[in-house]
Amino acid sequence: MERLQFEYPAGEPATRRILVGVVGSGDLEVLVEPGESGKTAIDVTTSVDGYGKVWDAQLSRVFRAEPRAAMRIRIHDFGATPGVVGMRLAEAFEALSADGKEAS
């Protein structure tokens, strides 16, 4: 088990919490909460040791592409592939933007 932490610039805080995925289902769970204005902090708990560079590359691709709402994100994986990580994050951002204001 390995715990990784990442931080990215962001805008104003998200306004609500979102939970997508289920860690015991063979993919991963993403919990999004409002964060500190100006930054998104991500904690990853992974069952696969030694993949910090892979996580960094995947998350950097998502969070450096465009500014997002400030969030605190906790990811619990189950050996998920980068594709599943991207899919679950996109699902969380879609749920946040359901009112048309968040995660854009």
Per-residue pLDDT tens digits for 46-62: 888 888 999 999 999 88
pLDDT at residue 99, rounded to an integer: 59
Q: What is the pLDDT of residues 65-97, one digit of tens each?
A: 777 899 999 999 887 877 888 889 999 999 988
DSSP annotation of 74: E
Q: Are 6 and 44 in contact (CB under 8 A)?
A: yes
| CA distance from start to end of the chain | 32
Structural domain that includes position 62: 2-99
Sign (positive/negative) of CA torsion 85, 91, 95, 99? positive
In the chain, the number of structural domains is 1
Mean of all residue pLDDT scores within the chain: 86
Domain membership of residue 104 (yes or no) is no
Give the integer Cα–Cα distance in Å for 13 and 1.
30
pLDDT at residue 59, rounded to an integer: 93
Domain membership of residue 26 (yes or no) is yes
- Residue 85 backbone dihedrals phi, psi, to 5 degrees: -60, -50
